[in-house]
Amino acid sequence: MHIPDAFIPLPQAAVYWIIALVFIALALRWARRELSEEKIPLVAILAAGIFAIQAVNVPIPWGTSGHMMGAALAAIVLGSPFAAVFILTLVLIVQGVLFGDGGLTVMGANIINMGVIGGFVGYYSYRGLLPVFKSPYAPAFIAGWLSLFVASLACAVEMALAGTFPLELGLLSMGLYHAIIGIIEGGITAIAIYLITTARPDIMAEREVVPA
């Protein structure tokens, strides 16, 4: 759901950039306070893996495709929604500047949707569901699905404000496609958490609530 430049008028794009910069500043504060030297390799792996997996568009019905976003995964593994903002911002900058994937003027909106909304919805739905399931995998799947779905609805609202999509049809189309793409998001989120907890049970955030 990388928004291209033409989809949002410049004044609105500027507002999204300002909001995004506030969250980027908070993400840098998170990194300064919470990111220990030990966790740096994990940040690098997550950033690399999320960048690579975002290049894999999986076909879904209706002549459409979608790829994983990775914000829920980053937030869950590193134990903070700001970790998702930190990592997704890096990924989006490289995608936009080197590959023209996602516009530059509208990058603030993309950071809000995929980093901020993806990260916050993913993290807090995971934390909320963990006590219900007592295993990390079902909550990770649902958190992944929900993070993508809600981010896509936010994107539809931005498109409506931009005058690009009518609100109802935008919500319906974005919701329909991303409800399916969310299955990919949820599945890979759960699998990646399994792999990381198996390889390094010590490194996962909140390990007391994540049985290895």
Partner 1 sequence: MMDKKNFLFAGIAIALIIAAMAPFIASSNPDGLESAFFGIFGAKDLRGSNLDEEMASTAEEEVTAITGNEYSFASPFPDYSIEGLAKFGEAAAVIIGTLVVVGIAFGLSRVVARKS
Write down the least CB distance from residue 102 to partner 1, Å: 10
**What's the full length of the chain, in residues?**
212
What stretch of H or E contains 40? helix 40-53
Which lies closer to partner 1 via its Cβ, residue 104 or residue 209?
104
Written as one string, the DSSP assignment of 94-142 is HHHHHH--S-STTHHHHIIIIIIIHHHHHHHHHHHHHHHHSSSHHHHHH
Write down the least CB distance from residue 164 to partner 1, Å: 6
Which lies closer to partner 1 via its Cβ, residue 29 or residue 128?
29
Which lies closer to partner 1 via its Cβ, residue 104 or residue 138?
104
Write down the least CB distance from residue 37 to partner 1, Å: 5
Query: Are the C-beta atoms of residues 149 and 174 closer than 8 Å to each other?
Result: no
Q: What angle do CA 41, 144, 147 make, to 5 degrees?
A: 105
Which lies closer to partner 1 via its Cβ, residue 138 or residue 160?
160
Write down the least CB distance from residue 2 to partner 1, Å: 7
- CA pair distance 111, 41, nearest whole angstrom: 23
